[in-house]
Amino acid sequence: MNTRMMKLCSWSGVAAIVLIAGGFVLAGFVPPPPPGADAARIGELFREDANRIRFGMILGMYGASLLMLYAAVIAIQMRRIEGRNAVLALAQFGCGAIFVLEFIYLEFFWVAATFRAERADDSFLLLNDMAWIPFIGISSTVVIQSLLFGIVILRDSGARYFPRWLGYYNIWAALSFTPGTFNMFFKSGPLAWDGVLAFWFPVLVFVSWLIINPLFLAKSVDRASEAETGTDPTALAAELGELREKLARLTTKLGANA
């Protein structure tokens, strides 16, 4: 196992959030433009800040691409826990890949809006809505991704790779990402796309999710490396426990057959 590369990929989550956050700040999207803003205000925003939005979205797209490395490391570590038929690890990686595409594709709506300054204000408003509503509202992929990671951590009875509280944290994070799903029903208030429950709280959780998980992913890579070389006492103890259980079951079967 290439431990150095695996650890580098583990920290890609932190690099991703730095680039994504930097891009959105550069674009002037923090805080987001209000959902209730009229067409004239949105048109003015895209005409005056066109280059800021373009460069900001370029940063955001590169940051989003790093989330693929993050999902890949999670999948590999989940597979170590699940074993050979690691269906949840594969599902998590699939959700992670789709999540990356959601970021990039929706960022291009904002870029497309800046492409023609002569557009009517209503066209700017439409493109802005087509970006912000799904950007905040499509939460299912990251919810499933985080939920599956949490479930697999809790299924690791030996706790060889991750602490159990990290499993509960990922399940809690998954639930925290869901309020934005309902932003399509509101133009103001906590569930609007600039609201506390739909935007600010999930963003803070997302930032923590891309800092806390990488920290323990990097540690799990070290543990996996030690397990492969036979130097991890926790892994050795867990394997010994499994062997004892198998021996006990075999002894019981032999006694029953006798």
How far is it between the farthest Cα atoms of the chain? Answer: 89
- SS3 at position 38: coil
Q: What does the pLDDT read at residue 105? A: 92
Q: Is residue 238 a part of any domain in this protein? A: no
Q: Is residue 237 a part of any domain in this protein? A: no
Q: Is there a contact between 200 and 24 (Cβ–Cβ < 8 Å)?
A: no
- Taking the mean position of all CA atoms in its chain, how far away is CA 27? 22
Residue range 229-246: average pLDDT? 59
Closest by Cα among 39, 28, 256, 234 to 129:
39
Q: For residue 70, how many other CB atoms are within 10 A of its CB?
A: 27
Res. 160: pLDDT tops 80: no
> Is residue 50 very low, low, confident or very high in pLDDT (cuts 50, 70, 90)?
very high
Residue range 22-38: average pLDDT? 94
Q: What does the pLDDT read at residue 224? A: 72
Q: Is residue 107 a part of any domain in this protein? A: yes
Residue range 117-132: average pLDDT? 94
CA–CA gap between residue 240 and residue 238 (Å, rounded): 5
Q: What does the pLDDT read at residue 204? A: 96
Q: Which residue would you say has higher pLDDT here, 54 or 229?
A: 54
Q: Is there a contact between 190 and 197 (Cβ–Cβ < 8 Å)?
A: yes
Q: Is residue 258 a part of any domain in this protein? A: no
Closest by Cα among 144, 132, 140, 131 to 183:
132
Q: What's the total number of domains in the chain?
A: 1
Residue range 63-80: average pLDDT? 94
Q: What does the pLDDT read at residue 258? A: 61
Q: Is residue 246 a part of any domain in this protein? A: no
Q: Is residue 252 a part of any domain in this protein? A: no
Q: Is there a contact between 141 and 184 (Cβ–Cβ < 8 Å)?
A: no
CA–CA gap between residue 227 and residue 215 (Å, rounded): 19
Q: What does the pLDDT read at residue 65? A: 95
Q: Which residue would you say has higher pLDDT here, 85 or 191?
A: 191
Alpha helices in the chain (DSSP H): 3-10, 12-27, 39-48, 50-82, 87-113, 121-137, 140-155, 164-176, 201-229, 233-257
Q: What does the pLDDT read at residue 159? A: 58
Q: Is residue 247 a part of any domain in this protein? A: no
> Is residue 158 very low, low, confident or very high in pLDDT (cuts 50, 70, 90)?
low
Give me the domain span that covers residue 76: 3-232
Q: Is residue 257 a part of any domain in this protein? A: no
> Is residue 234 very low, low, confident or very high in pLDDT (cuts 50, 70, 90)?
low
